């Protein structure tokens, strides 16, 4: 069987249990691999071929370590399926080590950063009038964008999860949000607080003729936002607010998680809210929160401040 045919079978198999986003990631990885290695019989491909492909991604294309590691994960998943379905030897397991991926530094937003970001969502960049006077105007999507940022900060949901939300997925009375397309195609429930609910109500109250299956956050053409548009909106607002380090959905997710722990939330509930299958990432958040607590105690220690 040719590699292209086997890839089709793998994707058909994964489509049953995986989210569209995960399928897209598999398609992207395997398409690049097919283009690099050529459409040859699957049984003729060796572990060395996979190593050469990963080297190509890392050195020739200069992709980030995490991206190369994700490619290794995708190809390994393909061979796990091929071993069971086609009886082909798993050439990754025990032969091609997963590339090391440096963990990105977690830089949460401060309270002031968030206030500046929200202010930047309301107004455009400064521009000059015909008389050369500086001016700013209110952005037409400020209600929507403000509700988006507050939801990301208050729930920690992922970018794609937010983009996939429909109006019927939220209960405005309880603030419960049904995330139907979570990572690994696993659903869960997250919650909005009073401030975020008010911002969402203000946005939805201005929309007309909405149906339950309409996008919760719509484009000008009434369709779902996509992740690229979401990232561009946040990056532009962060730039207008002059916030150090780029602003994106995942930075808001980090900010939610760390402040949830700072405010007394427990790690197991946080794991469920974030939709993590393991505690690995939650432990990183916990470590940052504990460092903050230790630093606060050093500054506020009653005994030390009394200088006994």
What's the Cα-to-Cα distance from 127 to each of 48, 167, 278, rounded to whole Å?
57, 36, 48
CB-CB contact of 261 with 286 (8 Å): yes
What's the Cα-to-Cα distance from 302 to each of 293, 294, 298, rounded to whole Å?
15, 14, 9
pLDDT for 172 = 94
pLDDT for 244 = 87
Cα-Cα-Cα-Cα torsion 53, 58, 63, 65, nearest 10 degrees, comes to: 110
pLDDT for 63 = 85
Strands 170-171, 134-135: parallel, antiparallel or unpaired by DSSP?
unpaired
pLDDT for 99 = 82
The pLDDT tens digits of the residues spanning 87-134 come to 999 999 888 888 877 667 788 999 999 999 999 998 877 666 666 666
pLDDT for 117 = 95
pLDDT for 293 = 62
pLDDT for 251 = 93
pLDDT for 288 = 78
Strands 134-135, 176-179: parallel, antiparallel or unpaired by DSSP?
unpaired
| Domains of the chain from N-terminus onward | 3-85 (1.10.150.130), 111-299 (1.10.443.10)
Mean pLDDT by 10 residues, the chain (308 residues): 93 87 89 92 92 88 86 93 92 86 79 94 72 73 96 94 95 93 76 94 92 93 92 94 91 92 87 85 80 65 63
Give the SS3 label for residue 168. Answer: helix
pTM, full prediction = 0.70
What's the Cα-to-Cα distance from 261 to each of 45, 62, 250, 271, rounded to whole Å?
48, 36, 17, 11
Residue 178, φ and ψ in degrees, nearest 5: -90, 110
CB-CB contact of 182 with 18 (8 Å): no
């Amino acid at each position: 069987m040719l590699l292209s045919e086997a890839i089709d079978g793998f994707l058909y198999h994964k489509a049953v249990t995986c989210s569209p986003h995960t399928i897209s990631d598999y398609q992207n990885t395997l398409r690049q691999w097919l283009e690099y290695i050529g459409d040859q019989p699957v049984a003729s491909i060796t572990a060395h071929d996979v190593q050469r492909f990963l080297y190509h991604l890392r050195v020739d294309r200069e992709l980030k370590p995490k991206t190369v590691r994700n490619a290794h994960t995708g190809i390994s998943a393909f061979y796990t399926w091929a071993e069971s379905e086609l009886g082909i030897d798993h050439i990754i397991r025990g032969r091609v080590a997963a590339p090391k991926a440096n963990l990105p530094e977690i830089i949460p937003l401060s309270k002031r950063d968030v206030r500046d970001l929200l202010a930047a969502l309301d107004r455009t960049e400064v521009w000059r009038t015909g008389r050369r006077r500086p001016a700013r105007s209110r952005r037409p999507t400020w209600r929507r964008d403000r509700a988006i940022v507050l939801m990301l900060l208050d729930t920690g949901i992922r970018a794609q999860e937010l983009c996939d939300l429909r109006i019927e997925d939220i209960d405005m009375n309880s603030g419960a949000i049904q995330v139907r397309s979570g990572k690994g195609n696993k659903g869960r429930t997250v919650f909005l607080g009073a401030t975020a609910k008010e911002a969402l109500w203000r946005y939805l109250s201005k929309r007309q003729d909405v149906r339950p299956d309409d996008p919760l956050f719509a484009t000008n053409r009434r369709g779902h936002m996509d992740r690229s548009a979401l990232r561009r909106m946040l990056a532009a607002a962060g730039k207008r607010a002059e916030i150090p380090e780029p602003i994106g959905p995942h930075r808001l997710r980090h900010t939610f998680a760390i402040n949830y722990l700072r405010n007394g939330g427990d790690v197991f509930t946080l794991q469920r809210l974030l939709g993590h299958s393991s505690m690995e990432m939650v432990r990183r958040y916990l470590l940052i929160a504990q460092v903050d607590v230790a630093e606060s105690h050093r500054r506020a220690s009653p005994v030390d401040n009394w200088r006994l």
